[in-house]
Amino acid sequence: MTSSSEPSASDTGGISHSPPKKLWLLIFCIATACFFTEIPSAKGRPFSAADPTVNHRDAGTNTASITIARKTENAYDKIILEAAHRHDVHPALIKAIIKAESSYNPRAVSRRGARGLMQLMPGTARAMGVKNSFNPKHNIHGGTKYFRHLLDQFKGNIRLALAAYNAGIERVRHYGRVPPYKETRSYINKVMSYYREYRSEMRMMARS
């Protein structure tokens, strides 16, 4: 998958009766702390998140931009948590895919026509029952449902599922492993790096 485009109006319409954002963030952190203590790695061993390696040389000058970026990412936490529980995918992994696919731009559109936060191709969106790929809720639920399907196809192997998300399921089946494409391998490494980072952050926030 690749980049996407524009969100539509909310599905519910009218006034929202959802709990305050701070409460959703607290729920998100607590749920994440308990969600999947172990996830299988590509080699079948349990995958445990380690503290990410961060370059702090420019921390002082980048603090404001990082804060803005985090606010943008956290705006979708409620939807991500709902999709995570519904489709049994770790929320940190969903966030990592979104970051790699569209950098949290709900209006992103790739040269190949992939759309929205999780960069759904039109055919994939239809197959997952997505009505509007530019609607964040539709896109995240559809993308997570599709990724769950890929995990099931490859027996929980995250790297192969990511390879299929990027290069296509048939290419992964053809090679029986991660295809020898530089772009796909780079994509997998990027998502896994984001995944470790988000998972570490969620754990620290839940403990604070």
Q: How far apart are CA 139 and CA 190, in angstroms?
A: 21
30 CB contacts (<8 Å, ≥6 apart)? 206
49 CB contacts (<8 Å, ≥6 apart)? 92, 195, 196, 199, 200, 203
Q: How far apart are CA 87 and CA 153, in angstroms?
A: 14
Q: How far apart are CA 118 and CA 144, in angstroms?
A: 8
194 CB contacts (<8 Å, ≥6 apart)? 95, 96, 99, 100
Of 101, 170, 183, 197, which residue is the catalytic one?
Answer: 101
Catalytic site residue 101? yes
Tokens for 140, please give them.
Answer: 């995240």
Evaluate whether 27 touches 126 at the Cβ level (below 8 Å). no
Q: Which residues are catalytic?
A: 101
